[in-house]
Amino acid sequence: MALHEITAAGHGVLLEIAYATAANFTGKPVYSRPGCYLHPDAEAALERAVELARPLGLRLKIFDAFRPSEAQWALWNFRPDPEFLADPRRGSPHSRGVAVDLTLIDGRGQALDMGTGFDAFTPLSHHGSTAIPEPAQRNRFLLLGLMSAAGWDFYKNEWWHYQLFDSRKYPLLSDADLPEPMMALV
């Protein structure tokens, strides 16, 4: 099954692929290039979310989408925390091409306040946390509503993570399944 590349111009999103930079919980790049791919079913749900956000003057900024199984192992080996990371032996929805990590941005390209940053592995990142300011709670519920209406399920511990409801029916994929590798050759 071929994954579809998600592009800023073709999908109306902003891409800021965190694992291709040091701006992630490992403090170093995990990917050698900033690719963004989704299974066609997830791409269709992403397009619905983009359409729902547009009339509100909002856009989606994507931090991560398909994550090669090799990358899931690298993240797990750095921090084996099942509260925030899928054990690679079971597989992540990201490694199936049916999950996306994202936030909302306004018309000026500014990210809406979500109370914590992406990859903040803390209870403050949980959906429904009331320990964050009320405007951030509203922004999280807005994102949750848009994504849910577009056909996405959420992960209770990460406000930024959404996946297709039946994610386990999709096969695990690796870097070799991409048209151009994302992982550094070792």
**pTM across the whole model:** 0.96
Q: For residue 48, give its domain range.
A: 4-177
Which of 16, 43, 70, 158 is flagged as catalytic? 158
> SS3 letters for the chain?
CCCEECCHHHHCCEECCHHHCCCCCCCCCCCCCCCCEECHHHHHHHHHHHHHHHHHCCEEEEEECCCCHHHHHHHHHHCCCCCCCCCCCCCCCHHHCCEEEEEEECCCCCECCCCCCCCCCCHHHCCCCCCCCHHHHHHHHHHHHHHHHCCEEEECCEEEEEEECCHHHCCCCCHHHCCCCCCCCC
Answer whether residue 9 shows pLDDT above 90.
yes
Query: 143-181: per-residue pLDDT in tens?
Result: 999 999 999 999 999 999 999 999 999 999 999 999 999
CATH code, domain carrying 78: 3.30.1380.10
Query: 53-106: per-residue pLDDT in tens?
Result: 999 999 999 999 999 999 999 999 999 999 999 999 999 999 999 999 999 999
Whether residue 160 is contained in a domain is answered as: yes
Band (1; pLDDT cuts 50, 70, 90)? low
Q: What is the mean pLDDT of the chain?
A: 96
pLDDT given for residue 185 in this prediction:
58
Whether residue 25 is contained in a domain is answered as: yes
Is 43 part of the annotated catalytic residue set?
no
Count of domains in the chain? 1
Give the torsion through C-alpha atoms of 159, 152, 79, 72, to 10 deg: -150
Whether residue 186 is contained in a domain is answered as: no
- Name the percent of the chain lying above pLDDT 70: 98
Whether residue 185 is contained in a domain is answered as: no
